[in-house]
Structure 1
């Protein structure tokens, strides 16, 4: 399991994992998915919504009351 020093490292890790998943499903490279993420608003929103969902699940799994 990966250890993270701060929330920003965790956020970047989750973003990369989500982008890699999208890239794999679309038959694209991670670089192509990242370019879309950085340049297309609806792609960025979709990715960040997924990051938010994953972050909430991690917090719940760690025992945080939300």
Structure 2
């Protein structure tokens, strides 16, 4: 179910420039998940990270490695 929600959110994001901008300015995958939740889409930041490299419509999910981040 979360995968379906994630894909639906990405579809919405490609059609709404203001939403895309908000997502691109987010610091973490959890922040993106919170934005999505406020719009009624339910998935976790971890699920978003596992979707990295995949494409939905014109949106490709890409994990950004932050310098100084501990793994």
Aligning the two structures, in what range does the TM-score lie when normalised by the shorter sequence?
Answer: 0.3 to 0.5
TM-score (norm 1): 0.35
TM-score, length-scaled by structure 2: 0.33
Larger radius of gyration: 1
Which protein has greater RCO, CA pairs closer than 8 Å, 6+ apart?
A: 2
Q: Determine which structure has the larger strand proportion and give its number.
A: 2
